[in-house]
Amino acid sequence: MHDLLGTYQRLDRIYQLYIKSAFPLRYPALAEERDRRLQFLRDPHNPVLSIPPLVEPVPIYPSSGMNLSEAVTNLPREYQDLAQLGQTLFDDTIQIYQHQWQSLQEAIVNQKDIVVTTGTGSGKTECFLLPLLAQLAKESQSWTAPNSIPTNQRWWDSNVNPKGEWVAQRSHETRPTAVRALILYPLNALVEDQLRRLRRVLDSSTVHQWLDRTRAGNRITFGRYTGLTPIPGKQVPNSDKLKELRAIMQSMEEEYQNLQNGISTDPSLLNEMPDLPFYFPRLDGGEMRSRWDMQDHPPDILITNYSMLNIMMMRNIENNIFDSTKKWLESDPENKFYLIIDELHAYRGTPGTEVAYILRLLYHRIGLAADSPQLRILTTTASLDAGQEGNDFLRQFFGRGDFSFITGEQTPPRDRARLSIKQYHDAFAEFARSVQPDPLYSMQPPDLDSSLPHITTLAENLGTSSDNSDPRRQLGEALENIQAADAIRDACREVNGSVRSTDVRDLDDQLFPNARGAEQLTSDAMRGFLLALGMSTLANGRSPQPVRGHLFFHNLQNLWACTNPNCTDPSVDQELRNSQKNRPTIGAVHANHSLSCSCGSRILDLIVCEVCGEVLVGGYKAERKVGNISVEILTPDQPDLEGIPDTVILSQKYGNYRIFWPLPHDSRPWETEPQDMEWTQDKI
Ligand SMILES: [Zn+2]
Ligand SMILES: [Zn+2]
């Protein structure tokens, strides 16, 4: 996606065409008035179909300046193995963000609960995974070696297990089993993402080999316990349940094998989707296979949602999960229970109260008081203030309230950087006109390959010093030299007080003041500037400043019309109407619903004949008394307000709805015959 503005303009155009086809008016003057109403630029203060895009520079967060191995050296000695356990989360070419390091420091060094409030794309998940992995790296040093794996551990395979009985996944382990961390999600869809990440971290061959060498072959275990986890019900030998589970295990193994075979036949798949190997669980790793396995040996990391957690605490079959965790916590005050709640903002209001009670029940089941030092809470949220209100919410929700806020401030743009871009106005405007003279002409974004010469020209005009032979890299480096990223972020800050989504026209005013023509959505220079950001790359393959576009379209339910043909509303083009032989029989066209027009007349639904474009008006009928006479009036609203929302019928039926056909030169009493018996519409 390299053409944000053009994409918006093309969508907007198609939407306008669609509305026109739904209201094909036969009166040219009326059609012209309708079109003006729909076009943003004709009345920017009263938009109907859409507003110009908001442009959001993707945030840049400060780096800690350390890769994981370097960061770990600043942790106490017993946590040093995090560097190995976390190696597939962050390889040593990546520097971790400042807020990720801060999470580790607060949770591990200072032993504090944390709430992470950084924005999307800031690596929030890692903020809780790093401390959790650090804790597991420490504790697992004391684990005793497992016995040898039983030969029939792949119990679903009749070759190794002719009797067909169930064999628990971790029956050979000798270390204490308990839940070390509970990760709670509001939605099952988010669980899937999390599982893939845990597979990459804990079930990669690299980490398995490390565990074999240094943890006597123990695995860090994790399991999803939701409605999707096979299989509900009690463990019964030789039952239908067992048969069902056997079939599920067989097909899971097959799925995993097929995926791995597919990848080894075509390794290029990994370039497109590096996470592909982790889409399915492997049955010989740390991921727990079934509910039965987890009931017998609770996973170190249990992932679930709050309704399942609630159910698990209410019935017997999952007792062991909580009992063994309680026992493990009692056995050593150094043992810590990590409660991790992602997307905390999902639990506001009534569901929040329910979850808060479930958490208190959980503390009770595993023998922890809310203020226990053995409890460590890590949570992430999209919005929470570090002030009194935020702290009150945390205290009410978790039953304790001394959290460190990890806010992850973005790197601020250079002051006044926005002012240095306008000197390149001509270069950007020229670029836009050459790669895309009219965004609505071809209804396509500009073609990258045929634009390469123009990209080179722009890079030269911006004073490139690059000796790279790829034009897109040349432009990327040129944009970096003129500090284009700082400029657009500084412009956002100037408009909004902080770097966030900003109306593209406001950015235009900041970067290229007075360059925009009255009939233009933005100046050509602004268009060229955004195209240049989208069509250039740096050495890392990304744009010098990736931006996100937010497009807003209004779902237009209807159009309304003033019933007065001599309407004086300013949107009526009197001159145009007077110049036409066929004057429209209604007044102004309104895109918003209201009772009366600025001329004082009643507004009703606009109803258009799809064949000839004749206009009619419609409304709900109501009986009113005028003196002693009962009359029927029409309103654009259902008049029986008392009955809303239960007993009122909003459908437009003969009993409650009337259609009125205004004719030219109507005078009372209205004639029932058409004024002219013939009509023509284009070539029909
Ligand atoms: Zn009017
Ligand atoms: Zn018709």
107-152 per-position pLDDT tens digit: 999 999 999 998 777 888 999 999 999 999 999 999 999 999 998 8
DSSP sequence for 279-307: SS--TTSSB---HHHHHHS--SEEEEEHH
CA–centroid distance, 671 to ligand 2, in Å, is 18
In the DSSP assignment, the letter for residue 177 is P
How large is the angle between the packed helices 319-331 and 306-314, nearest 10 degrees? 90
Q: Please, which residues bridge with residue 525 across strands?
A: none
Topology (CATH) of 63-143+175-406: Rossmann fold (3.40.50)
Predicted confidence at residue 672, as pLDDT, reads 42
The answer to whether 201 touches 88, Cβ cutoff 8 Å, is yes
- HSE on the CB side for 630, CA within 13 Å? 3
Predicted confidence at residue 439, as pLDDT, reads 86
Predicted confidence at residue 665, as pLDDT, reads 62
Mean pLDDT score, 77-82? 96
Ligand nearest to the CA of 570: 1
Non-local (6+) Cβ contacts of 680 within 8 A are: none
- HSE on the CB side for 248, CA within 13 Å? 15
The answer to whether 511 touches 529, Cβ cutoff 8 Å, is yes
Predicted confidence at residue 595, as pLDDT, reads 86
CA–centroid distance, 625 to ligand 1, in Å, is 25
CA–centroid distance, 678 to ligand 1, in Å, is 28
pLDDT tens-digit series, residues 501-529: 999 999 999 999 999 998 899 999 999 99
The tokens describing 533, both together, are: 């950001």
Ligand nearest to the CA of 679: 2
The pairing of beta strand 222-224 with beta strand 301-305: parallel
pLDDT at 674 over 60: no
Which ranges constitute the DSSP H helices of 417-545?
425-435, 452-461, 471-481, 484-496, 504-511, 524-535
Name the burial class of residue 56, with classes exposed (0-12), middle (13-18) and buried (19+) by CB atoms within 10 angstroms of its CB. Answer: middle
Give the position of tokens 């040219």. 28
CA–centroid distance, 660 to ligand 2, in Å, is 14
pLDDT at 267 over 90: no
How large is the angle between the packed helices 484-496 and 524-535, nearest 10 degrees? 130
The answer to whether 108 touches 76, Cβ cutoff 8 Å, is yes
The tokens describing 619, both together, are: 């409304």
Place 536 in a pLDDT band, splitting at 50, 70 and 90: very high
pLDDT at 684 over 70: no
pLDDT at 679 over 70: no
CA–centroid distance, 554 to ligand 1, in Å, is 24
Ligand nearest to the CA of 572: 1
Mean pLDDT score, 286-302? 95
pLDDT at 36 over 50: yes
Handedness of CA 307, 400, 130, 344 (dihedral sign): positive
Predicted confidence at residue 231, as pLDDT, reads 86
pLDDT tens-digit series, residues 337-370: 999 999 898 888 888 899 999 999 999 999 999 9
pLDDT at 211 over 70: yes
pLDDT at 683 over 60: no
Residue with the larger pLDDT of the pair 638 and 84: 84
CA–centroid distance, 17 to ligand 1, in Å, is 25
CA–centroid distance, 609 to ligand 2, in Å, is 5
CA–centroid distance, 607 to ligand 2, in Å, is 11
Residue with the larger pLDDT of the pair 613 and 509: 509
Predicted confidence at residue 649, as pLDDT, reads 63
CA–centroid distance, 557 to ligand 2, in Å, is 22
Mean pLDDT score, 61-70? 91
DSSP sequence for 119-136: -TTS-HHHHHHHHHHHHH
Name the burial class of residue 248, with classes exposed (0-12), middle (13-18) and buried (19+) by CB atoms within 10 angstroms of its CB. Answer: middle
> To the nearest whole percent, how much of the chain has pLDDT over 70?
95
**CB under 5 Å of ion ligand 1: residues:** 562, 564, 567, 569, 587-588, 597, 599, 601
- CA–CA distance, 304 with 185 (Å, rounded to integer): 6
Predicted confidence at residue 520, as pLDDT, reads 92
The tokens describing 223, both together, are: 């399991």
Place 558 in a pLDDT band, splitting at 50, 70 and 90: confident
Ligand nearest to the CA of 598: 1
Q: Which of 363, 524, 398 is nearest to 113 (CA)?
A: 398
Mean pLDDT score, 87-113? 93
Q: Which of 27, 40, 52 is nearest to 589 (CA)?
A: 27
Which ranges constitute the DSSP H helices of 150-234?
188-202, 205-214
Predicted confidence at residue 668, as pLDDT, reads 45
Ligand nearest to the CA of 588: 1
Mean pLDDT score, 41-53? 87
CA–centroid distance, 101 to ligand 2, in Å, is 70
Predicted confidence at residue 666, as pLDDT, reads 56
Handedness of CA 262, 264, 267, 270 (dihedral sign): positive
- CA–CA distance, 458 with 432 (Å, rounded to integer): 10
> To the nearest whole percent, how much of the chain has pLDDT over 90?
60
Place 440 in a pLDDT band, splitting at 50, 70 and 90: confident
Predicted confidence at residue 193, as pLDDT, reads 82
Mean pLDDT score, 150-172? 90
Residue with the larger pLDDT of the pair 101 and 680: 101
Predicted ipTM? Answer: 0.94
In Å, how far are 87, 321, 379, 429 from 459, measured between CA atoms?
39, 62, 45, 13
Predicted confidence at residue 680, as pLDDT, reads 59
Non-local (6+) Cβ contacts of 67 within 8 A are: 90, 92, 93, 94, 95, 96
CA–centroid distance, 584 to ligand 1, in Å, is 12
What DSSP element (H or E) covers 15?
A: helix 4-22
Predicted confidence at residue 498, as pLDDT, reads 87
CA–centroid distance, 620 to ligand 2, in Å, is 22
What is the chain's mean pLDDT, rounded? 89
Predicted confidence at residue 682, as pLDDT, reads 60
Mean pLDDT score, 292-305? 95
Predicted confidence at residue 670, as pLDDT, reads 43
Q: Which of 62-66, 234-238, 455-459, 605-609 has the lowest mean pLDDT?
A: 234-238
Q: Which of 131-135, 405-409, 420-424 has the lowest mean pLDDT?
A: 405-409
In the DSSP assignment, the letter for residue 423 is G
Query: What single-letter amino acid sits at 51?
Result: I
Ligand nearest to the CA of 602: 1
Ligand nearest to the CA of 607: 2
Predicted confidence at residue 555, as pLDDT, reads 86
Q: Please, which residues bridge with residue 261 across strands?
A: none
Q: Please, which residues bridge with residue 620 across strands?
A: 635, 657
Domain with CATH 3.40.50.300 in the chain: 63-143+175-406
CA–centroid distance, 596 to ligand 1, in Å, is 8
The answer to whether 161 touches 155, Cβ cutoff 8 Å, is yes
